[in-house]
């Protein structure tokens, strides 16, 4: 039976670089996928690109490739790679990798460069004139009128079509922009196994979407961030990245290298299968809609879990007509400050400081749009689920974190310095304070949909012979 | 039958994340009995009451029998979403821990 081994190479910016190198070196892989983008990253990269057209891609791609490409050569250039590290500027990212390949004397590499996922705001306006509404997928707001003037960037989450096309043209490496994390895996399963976007394959593509989801956060399915953390070990300090061996029926074994730490267990995969899924019967990705309630997980060996179809129902449905589309807009500024209170009576000191800050904001006439007061060591992560501290509880120290959201940078600065920072002096005789993080602009996201045909994707092959 | 108060963390594992301003929690029962308990006891109303003003919108629960898990969505649950929230936990990674603090009452014989 035909099988393909696909490894996880990266799940964000940054990730453990040695995880990818270990998979490439010791994972016996045919393909490897690198996701470098979080939801917000594209807005930051588009901003960089607008200021300087030699930037706008993920700079870490280059040191990662510096480590990886010599392994690729050592393996007779057997495995193929795809990433979304091109960000807002895939062509320049590809040029940099080509330069690197010459420096490393690799003797030829072919790179598929995918562009077109960034949509100019003028095109967004045109689509609206043609009658398309960018309805907010989270809030239900009908269109973007309220934020149109504040828009910074717009990008579509694209599918595996162009990755497959690049491999058909013998690309060794594919560099894209906002390729969806999941499609970086779907492409790597679909091309070698010959799966097409037709009725015969939706069940198997459903499996590819599911397994792509399992792999796309790299070490997260191999024991990091796990409920089993006490049992899971990293003897050399190197978390393992998952590898999926997928067969032509869409059944698969998820495993990892013996040279890495961590673990592949039913529980570690289950943890990821439920992660950020929403309606599990309709896990919507650009290449297909997976039904994750039809998946069976089974431990078949040490660090080997079989992922198969539970019963007779298909694991997938046809891919959606529209693509996910994100519009980023400017929405004020955030200032934050952390002060550490030294005991005794830490909660009483905190309460007094809270009162002081509230009064001082009023005294100075500042008008933050929002303010959040939280106690590190008590309720900063679990919020109101924690309740008030018991009367006899007095830990040796307690952190205060104050965060403000303001319309302007100046106002945010004033809130932080005048109220956040100087609050420490209102406390008892001793307190510690930290260097506050810089005032940060808020890039808010407007998640919506765009018709597939409105995203003009293009593939270009660049190479060094 | 003797009743006993337990926390969800006594019988469940959890992992949580985000999409926009929606907090998403996967609550995984440690065994079949625990799955029966959470399907019965973990309701949108109780979750809303547990999180108080940290969850402003609806709570939707999808059961996943194949994994003995509940997929739980908390709308308007992240203070505006990762890029807008003032919370330290911008992407809601600790919201699962927060849910796991929720207390339920069960018959001792069920455990």
Q: Does a structural domain hold residue B109?
A: no
Rg from Cα positions in chain B = 14
Instruction: DSSP for B44-101, please give it.
Output: HHHHHHHHGGG--S-EEEEEEGGGTEEEEEETT-STT-TTT--SS-TT-TTHHHHHHT
B15/A272 Cβ within 8 A: yes
Q: How confident is residue A260, by pLDDT bands cut at 50, 70 and 90?
A: very high
Q: How confident is residue A38, by pLDDT bands cut at 50, 70 and 90?
A: confident
A310/B66 Cβ within 8 A: yes
Task: Quote the crossing angle between the two packed helices A181-193 and A202-215, to the nearest 10°.
Answer: 130
B20/A382 Cβ within 8 A: no
B101/A384 Cβ within 8 A: no
Q: How far apart are alpha carbons A228 and A310 in whole angstroms?
A: 25
The rounded Cα A432 to chain-centroid distance in angstroms is 34
Any A CB within 8 A of B49 CB: no
Any B CB within 8 A of A312 CB: no
Residue with tokens 């899924």: A277
Q: How far apart are alpha carbons B107 and B85 in whole angstroms?
A: 40
Per-residue CA distances from A291 to A201, A266, A295, A311, A386 (Å)? 14, 18, 8, 12, 36
Q: Which helix (H) or strand (E) holds A463?
A: strand A458-464
User: What pLDDT sits at residue B72?
Assistant: 98
Higher pLDDT, A212 or A429: A212
The residues that bridge with B27 in the sheet, in sequence order, are: B14, B70
Any A CB within 8 A of B22 CB: yes
The residues that bridge with B104 in the sheet, in sequence order, are: B6
Q: What's the average model confidence in pLDDT over A347-361?
A: 92
User: What pLDDT sits at residue A81?
Assistant: 98
A374/B87 Cβ within 8 A: yes
Q: Give the pLDDT confidence of A355-396 residue by residue, as tens digits.
A: 999 999 999 999 999 999 999 999 999 999 999 999 999 999
Q: Show residues of chain B in contact with A380, CB under 8 Å.
A: 87-89
Q: How confident is residue A427, by pLDDT bands cut at 50, 70 and 90?
A: confident
The answer on pLDDT for A20 being more than 80 is yes
The percent of residues above 70 in pLDDT, for chain A, comes to: 100
User: What pLDDT sits at residue A418?
Assistant: 84
Per run of 10 residues, the mean pLDDT along chain B (length 111 residues) is: 94 96 97 97 98 97 98 96 93 97 94 83
User: What pLDDT sits at residue A454?
Assistant: 96
User: What pLDDT sits at residue A138?
Assistant: 85
Domains of chain A by residue range: 3-117+157-320, 327-446
Q: How confident is residue A402, by pLDDT bands cut at 50, 70 and 90?
A: very high
B64/A274 Cβ within 8 A: yes
Q: Pick the residue from chain B with its C-alpha nearest to A225.
A: B15
> How many domains in chain B?
1
Nearest-CA distance from A58 to chain B in Å? 19
Q: Show residues of chain A in contact with B96, CB under 8 Å.
A: none
Q: Does a structural domain hold residue B111?
A: no
Q: What's the average model confidence in pLDDT over A127-156?
A: 94
Domain that holds residue B52: 3-104
Q: What's the average model confidence in pLDDT over A238-253?
A: 98
Q: How confident is residue A47, by pLDDT bands cut at 50, 70 and 90?
A: confident
Residue A387, sorted as left (phi over 0), alpha (psi -120 to 50) or beta, turns out to be: left
Angle A285-A286-A290 (CA atoms, 0-180°, nearest 5)? 35
Cis peptide before A248 (omega within 30 of 0): no
Q: How far apart are alpha carbons A324 and A385 in whole angstroms?
A: 33
Length of chain B: 111
Domain A327-446 has CATH 3.30.70.360: yes
Q: Does a structural domain hold residue B14?
A: yes
Per-residue CA distances from B62 to A107, A259, A277, A295, B42 (Å)? 53, 38, 10, 15, 11
Q: How far apart are alpha carbons B17 and A276 in whole angstroms?
A: 5
Q: Give the pLDDT confidence of A49-100 residue by residue, as tens digits.
A: 999 999 999 999 999 999 999 999 999 999 999 999 999 999 999 999 999 9
What are the residues whose beta carbons fall under 8 Å from the beta carbon of A200, sequence distance 6 or more?
Answer: none
């Amino acid at each position: 039976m035909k099988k393909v081994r696909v490894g996880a190479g990266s799940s964000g910016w940054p990730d453990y670089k040695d995880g990818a190198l270990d998979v490439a070196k010791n994972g016996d892989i045919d393909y490897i996928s690198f996701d470098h983008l979080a939801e917000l990253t594209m807005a930051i990269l588009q901003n960089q690109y607008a200021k300087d057209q030699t930037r706008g891609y993920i700079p870490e791609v280059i040191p990662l490739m510096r480590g990886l490409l010599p392994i690729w050569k050592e393996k007779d250039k057997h495995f193929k790679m795809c990433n979304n590290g091109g960000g807002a500027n895939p062509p320049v990212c590809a040029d940099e990798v080509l330069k690197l390949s010459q420096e490393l004397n690799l003797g030829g590499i072919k790179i598929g460069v995918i562009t077109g996922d960034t949509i100019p705001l003028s095109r967004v306006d045109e689509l609206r004139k043609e009658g398309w509404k960018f309805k907010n997928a989270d809030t239900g707001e009908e269109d973007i009128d309220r934020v149109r003037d504040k828009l910074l960037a717009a990008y579509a989450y694209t599918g595996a079509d162009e990755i497959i096309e690049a491999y058909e043209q013998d690309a060794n490496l594919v560099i894209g922009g906002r390729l969806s994390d999941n499609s970086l895996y779907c492409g790597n399963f679909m091309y070698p196994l010959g799966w097409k976007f037709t009725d015969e394959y939706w069940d198997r593509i459903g499996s590819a979407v599911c397994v792509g989801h399992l792999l796309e956060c790299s070490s997260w399915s191999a024991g990091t961030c796990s409920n089993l953390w006490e049992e899971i070990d990293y003897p050399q300090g190197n978390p393992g990245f998952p590898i999926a061996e997928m067969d032509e029926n869409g059944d698969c074994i998820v495993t990892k290298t013996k040279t890495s730490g961590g673990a592949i267990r039913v529980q570690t995969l289950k943890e990821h299968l439920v992660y950020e899924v929403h309606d599990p019967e309709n896990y919507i990705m650009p290449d297909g809609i997976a039904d994750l309630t039809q998946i069976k997980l089974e431990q078949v060996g040490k660090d080997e879990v079989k992922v198969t179809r539970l019963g007779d129902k298909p694991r997938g449905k046809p891919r959606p007509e529209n693509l996910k589309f994100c519009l980023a807009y400017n929405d004020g500024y955030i200032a934050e400050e952390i002060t550490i209170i030294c005991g005794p009576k830490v909660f009483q000191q905190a309460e007094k400081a809270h009162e002081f800050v509230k009064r001082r904001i009023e005294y100075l006439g500042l008008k933050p749009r929002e303010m959040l007061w939280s106690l590190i060591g008590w309720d900063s992560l679990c919020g109101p689920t924690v309740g008030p501290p018991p009367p006899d509880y007095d830990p040796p120290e307690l952190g205060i974190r104050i965060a403000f959201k303001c319309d302007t940078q100046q106002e945010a600065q004033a809130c932080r310095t005048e109220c956040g920072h100087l609050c420490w002096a209102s406390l008892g005789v001793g307190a510690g304070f930290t260097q506050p993080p810089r005032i940060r602009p808020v890039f808010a996201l407007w998640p919506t949909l765009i018709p597939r045909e409105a995203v003009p994707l293009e593939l270009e092959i660049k190479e060094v012979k | 039958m003797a009743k006993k108060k337990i926390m969800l963390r006594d019988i469940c594992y959890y992992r949580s994340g985000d999409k926009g301003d929606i907090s998403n929690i996967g609550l995984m029962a440690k065994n079949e009995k625990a799955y029966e308990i959470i399907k019965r006891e973990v309701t949108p109303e109780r979750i809303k009451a547990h999180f108080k003003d940290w969850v402003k919108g609806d709570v939707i629960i999808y059961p996943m029998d194949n994994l003995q898990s509940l997929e739980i969505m908390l709308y308007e649950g992240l203070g505006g979403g990762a890029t807008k929230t003032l919370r330290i936990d911008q992407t809601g990674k600790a919201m699962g821990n927060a849910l796991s603090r929720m207390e339920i009452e069960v018959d001792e014989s069920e455990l």
